[in-house]
Chains A and B, each alone.
Chain A
Amino acid sequence: MLKVLIPTIMLVPTVWLTPAKLLWPATLAHSLTIAVTSFSWLSNPCDTGWSLMNQSMALDPLSTPLLVLTCWLLPLMILASQHHMIHEPINRQRTFITILTTLQVFLILAFSATELIFFYIMFEATLVPTLILITRWGNQAERLNAGTYFLFYTLAGSLPLLIALLLLQNTTGTLSLFILHYTTTLPMISIADKLWWAGCLVAFLVKMPLYGMHLWLPKAHVEAPIAGSMILAAILLKLGGYGMMRVMTLLEPLTPQLSYPFIILALWGVIMTGSICLRQTDLKSLIAYSSVSHMGLVAGGILIQTPWGFSGALILMIAHGLTSSALFCLANTNYERTHTRTMVLARGLQMALPLMAAWWFIASLANLALPPLPNLMGELMIITSVFNWSWATIALTGAGTLITAGYSLYMFLMTQRGPLPNHIIALDPSHTREHLLLALHLLPLLLLMGKPELIWGWTA
């Protein structure tokens, strides 16, 4: 564990001590080395349970894929931000990378925490660098409002979690994930118990976000700089899913009845946010709403609490993390050239940037879950597991897949196909950096097809 954590922390001195000329290459190389080191976690020596333990951190099949994704994303964020940061003064560039690094440190600690309170603190700590990222480095004035929404939605959700966790600590005497499974679970008798149940989950449902508590997400995504959008879509939303899976297993007895409304809401949200995507004119907002839609499926899969549901949710989280991050990068390549997020102003780009169109195509296909991409495996498993609960859900999930296909291809056709408008004929050619960035997003996705057990979670 520490062999990744300490180098990540040491990335901060690297950022500040490297000569200005080498800042970006050095940090990129450093973070990529960390990411590659983290791959070794994937070969989990013990079949079940925990590995690589120290006093407060450990790995298990659930957290490993998310941790590796976290480590993998830092170099990608650095790669993606390079172009729009290059005009800033050098110290601001250094600050920017420092913030990204800090976020990474908090995320590693959050995913590898073995104590729920430790997890909670790290979960909250990630808010700070993210908030700075959105409100300091965003482009429009609306970023301040977006920051407020982001902070308050998340905080309002997670403060009850603190109380719930303290109560749990009081009752069971421990919050360690190793032992907690062996303690007796809280009885679900009074209304207060049920509120406790809700308190345990609401923080994560807001973070996911569940439909109805998602307003912060499109705003934050749209206003954040590219690195912010990437990390939000790829990792921060997954913190919610991860936390839910961790807590869900502690809430066993009465949760089926309590979670039904949430499942329905999540699946209903898939359709509603999907339909919103169909009418989006703003590219980043479309991708953001599509994230809400996909995370709705994840929420459904987790709340259903079957092994298939959990595996499907984890697979979809990883696959969606890579896919939506790739889509944000693609949207950003458009933005850096045309300086607009409005889709009608930047269309027909296949004519100008043919290789980018290929990346767009693969990313759109991943978004609409083409078999055998991991996205499909995840969606199929989730659809199957909620279907196992109730037949009627196929109407919601089925309509969801239809709408997803609709807006993914709408996005592709709108941005890439059709004639190139006259006002954007003089575009920068695409950079090798951008191709590398997208390859690093999509190749892992393609490679995961070969060995999906890596992200299968507990049931592998």
Chain B
Amino acid sequence: MCLTSLMMSSSLVAILVLLSLPIISTLSPETKHPSWALIQAKTAVKLAFFVSLLPLFLFLSEGAETILTNWNWTNTLTFDINISLKYDFYSIVFTPVALYVSWSILEFASWYMSSDPYMNRFFKYLLIFLMAMIILVTANNLFQFFIGWEGVGIMSFLLIGWWYARADANTAALQAVLYNRVGDIGLIFAMAWISMNLNSWEMQQIFVTAKDLDLTYPLLGLVVAATGKSAQFGLHPWLPSAMEGPTPVSALLHSSTMVVAGIFLLIRMSPLINDYPVIHSTCLCLGALTTLFTATCALTQNDIKKIIAFSTSSQLGLMMVCIGLNQPQLAFLHICTHAFFKAMLFLCAGSIIHSLNDEQDIRKMGGMNSLTPFTSSCFTVGSLALTGTPFLAGFYSKDAIIEALNISHLNAWALILTLLATSFTAVYSLRLVYFVAMGNPRIQPLPPINENSPSVTSPIKRLAYGSIISGLLITSNITLPKTQVMTMPTHLKLAALAVTIAGLLVALELANLTSKQFRPAPKIATHHFSNMLGFFPTIIHRLPPKMNLSLGQYIASQMLDQTWMEKIGPKATYTLNLPLITTTSNAQQGLLKATLASFILTLALALLVVFLK
């Protein structure tokens, strides 16, 4: 083994060991000191981040990638399942990003959750989640990927339901798992198909052997899987509901890491998707629909976390669009930059929520610019990065995606939807900043405003640096494996910027109108559509569960189990035998005549048989 790959694989192992050490230390029965969270958990993540820089630098300087296959886990006939880790472009770049973001979030959580009696447990959950995420990212075979995939799903269940005495939190947690399970059916379908037809779950082997087969259906299965995990249209409602969890959870799981797993799956499998235009169009349309729909929903929400959640969903739609354009690398780039500013937006939101005595409604905020100057300026930076303001992080990925979209000939409808969604991004981002940071305070008197603790400021600060420079850093250091189209007419080049600015202007105008009685009777049908999330949860969360539960109760349980099966099984035995039994037993009720008559009859018959023989 040459030195480079040795260093890479050992640092990967070192990361896993570093993260698992604090988890293992919690196995001892004695209660951990409250400082465990900060001293052990956070430090472990921090160290893991620094260790993960080593392979990143090796990759940047030498382009080194490595695959570790070390243990034949199990096999059935000729089908092997190995533990094999893949440390390639995607995992090498994503691991440091995820660890950097987690490091900041863990530090922030030590402030945010400080009044929670189970803070250590919270950190342990976050660490286990991080392990699962790294397993997912570095997995080189589908089984291992599936472990990480379900692992992050279950940790999200636990973390959304962190305040478990609240019914809402439990519902949201269950909702997340169920929506994800729908997606898992797609993944299971794809895995079953692949194992049957290609006889391997190892990624390289799949890529090599899949050349001659029609992969449309398994790839559709993967798209369904990504739809569930990455909250694409149809399976999206769990993501905004997941905001029931603590804010650090929203920042880590539901913006920067777990929800991108679906997109990541498609990126991993992109060599397969390459030759299937059907899949591309599916992804493109699905992504465009998602990004517009969720951006529309974000427009009229009043909960600060819900708005950010919907914007996450919208950005995930944009990543899906990118997959549809056959530019998985751009999607990956957007995953990386998005992680920084979205995590920061959530942390800022968390800081503001705490400062305002756990108030989440943006209508009851305002004027935070002078009350919490640091948080709200970072909040503004994050929003700007989200809208794709030139030279902030979001610009480098988002602009490139929209350029790629503009020059593609795939689907004009998807293009229009995406551009519309881009301008909506500007609208809701401005609305957020307008209501939270600008204007007059509409807050309760005597809010416990305090943003002086270094465990609030330094994580936000670190993420702010990331939101500002990460785009430039990443794009100038890596060469994307696929060439971008560099030349295009000026109006196409500026399209993204133009729609964003148009969105901003419209939003400003609208914002000014809010304080005036513009119309005596406003038309609010569109508002209802957006505010009620397109009536999607109202329909989908009532009708199918009702059908299913009625099936369970009325058909499966009452009609079949308790009635028909009883009737034709045990009860039928009873009713069919009853006449026979009553007849014979009625004959023997001590009636002397009847008994003697039957006795004589039997005797006569017997004699007859004997004599006639």
- B557 CB-CB contact with A under 8 Å: yes
Whether A275 contacts B561 by the Cβ 8 Å rule is no
Whether B165 contacts A212 by the Cβ 8 Å rule is no
Whether A409 contacts B177 by the Cβ 8 Å rule is yes
- A388 CB-CB contact with B under 8 Å: yes
Q: Whole-angstrom distance between the alpha carbons of A365 and B511 in the complex?
A: 48
* Contact among B73, B157, B196, B552 with A278 in the assembled complex (CB-CB below 8 Å): B552
Whether A405 contacts B185 by the Cβ 8 Å rule is no
Whether B185 contacts A402 by the Cβ 8 Å rule is yes
Q: Which residues of A contact B174 (CB under 8 A)?
A: 406, 409-410, 413
- A68 CB-CB contact with B under 8 Å: no
User: Number of A interface residues, CB 8 Å?
Assistant: 56
Specify the main secondary structure of chain A where it touches its partner: helix
- A380 CB-CB contact with B under 8 Å: yes
Whether B76 contacts A311 by the Cβ 8 Å rule is yes
Whether B570 contacts A215 by the Cβ 8 Å rule is yes
Whether A215 contacts B565 by the Cβ 8 Å rule is yes
Check A384/B552 contact, CB under 8 A, given A370-B150, A402-B185. Answer: no
Whether B76 contacts A398 by the Cβ 8 Å rule is no
Whether B561 contacts A278 by the Cβ 8 Å rule is no
Q: Whole-angstrom distance between the alpha carbons of A325 and B396 in the complex?
A: 55
- A387 CB-CB contact with B under 8 Å: yes
Q: Whole-angstrom distance between the alpha carbons of A399 and B192 in the complex?
A: 15
Specify the main secondary structure of chain B where it touches its partner: helix
- A4 CB-CB contact with B under 8 Å: no
Of residues 131 through 176 on chain B, the ones whose CB sits less than 8 Å from some CB of chain A are: 143, 146-147, 149-151, 154, 157-158, 161, 164-165, 167, 170, 173-174
Q: Whole-angstrom distance between the alpha carbons of A137 and B553 in the complex?
A: 30
- A401 CB-CB contact with B under 8 Å: yes
Whether B170 contacts A394 by the Cβ 8 Å rule is no
Whether B74 contacts A452 by the Cβ 8 Å rule is yes
- B195 CB-CB contact with A under 8 Å: yes
Closest to B167 in A: A418
Q: Which residues of A contact B74 (CB under 8 A)?
A: 377, 451-453, 456
User: Number of B interface residues, CB 8 Å?
Assistant: 50
Q: State the Cβ distance, B542 to closest chain A Cβ, in Å.
A: 15
* Contact among B76, B150, B185 with A381 in the assembled complex (CB-CB below 8 Å): B76
Q: Whole-angstrom distance between the alpha carbons of A54 and B193 in the complex?
A: 44
Whether A272 contacts B147 by the Cβ 8 Å rule is no
Check A417/B165 contact, CB under 8 A, given A276-B557, A371-B146, A384-B196. Answer: yes
Whether A307 contacts B77 by the Cβ 8 Å rule is yes
1/0 per residue, CB under 8 A from A, across B181-211: the answer is 1101100110111011000000000000000
* Contact among B143, B157, B188 with A383 in the assembled complex (CB-CB below 8 Å): B188
Whether A417 contacts B189 by the Cβ 8 Å rule is no
- B484 CB-CB contact with A under 8 Å: no
Whether A387 contacts B167 by the Cβ 8 Å rule is no
- B551 CB-CB contact with A under 8 Å: yes
Q: State the Cβ distance, A408 to closest chain B Cβ, in Å.
A: 10
* Contact among A311, A384, A413, A451 with B195 in the assembled complex (CB-CB below 8 Å): A384
Whether B170 contacts A413 by the Cβ 8 Å rule is yes
Q: State the Cβ distance, B428 to closest chain A Cβ, in Å.
A: 33
Q: Whole-angstrom distance between the alpha carbons of A49 and B317 in the complex?
A: 55
- A50 CB-CB contact with B under 8 Å: no
Report which A residues bind B (CB closer than 8 A). Answer: 149, 152-153, 212-213, 215, 272-279, 307-308, 311, 348, 350-351, 361, 365, 370-372, 376-377, 380-381, 383-384, 387-388, 391, 394, 397-399, 401-403, 405-406, 409-410, 413, 416-419, 451-453, 456, 459-460
A-B pairs, 6 with minimum CB distance? A275-B552, A398-B185, A384-B192, A387-B192, A417-B164, A279-B552
Given A215-B565, A371-B147, A405-B181; 6 other pairs, CB 8 A cutoff: A372-B143, A376-B150, A384-B196, A394-B188, A410-B174, A416-B164
